[in-house]
Amino acid sequence: MIIARTLAELNSAREALGPVGFVPTMGALHAGHLSLLTAALADGLPAAASIFVNPAQFGPKEDFGQYPRDEAGDLAKLEAGGCSLVWLPSVDIMYPPQGATSVHVNGPALHWEGAARPGHFTGVATVVAKLFGQIRPAAAYFGEKDWQQVQVVTRMVEDLYLPVRIVPVPTVRETDGLALSSRNAYLTTADRKAAPALQAALQKAAREMLAGKEVAATLHNARHDAALAGLVPDYIALVHAETLEPIAALVAPARLIAAAKLGHVRLLDNIPVQ
Q: Which residues bind ligand AMP (CB under 6 A)?
A: 25-26, 32-33, 35-36, 142-143, 145-146, 169, 171-172, 179-182
Q: Helix count (H) and strand count (E) of the chain?
A: 10, 9
32 or 114, CB closer to ligand AMP? 32
Q: How far is the CB of 191 from ligand AMP (least distance, A)?
A: 17
DSSP state letter for 131: H
Q: How far is the CB of 32 from ligand AMP (least distance, A)?
A: 2
Helix axis angle for 196-210 and 215-228, nearest 10°, is 160
152 or 215, CB closer to ligand AMP? 152
Q: How far is the CB of 70 from ligand AMP (least distance, A)?
A: 12
Q: How far apart are CA 6 and CA 259, in angstroms?
A: 37
Catalytic residues: 33
240, amino acid identity: H
191 or 208, CB closer to ligand AMP? 191
84 or 151, CB closer to ligand AMP? 151
Q: How far apart are CA 91 and CA 106, in angstroms?
A: 25
Q: How far is the CB of 217 from ligand AMP (least distance, A)?
A: 30
35 or 199, CB closer to ligand AMP? 35
Q: How far apart are CA 53 and CA 119, in angstroms?
A: 15
Q: How far is the CB of 74 from ligand AMP (least distance, A)?
A: 10
Beta-carbon count within 10 A of 124 CB: 26
Sequence-separated (6 or more) residues with CB below 8 Å from residue 149: 113, 121, 124, 142
DSSP state letter for 172: P
Contact 61, 106 (CB under 8 A): no
Beta-carbon count within 10 A of 190 CB: 11
88-to-55, 61, 212 alpha-carbon distances in Å: 14, 25, 49
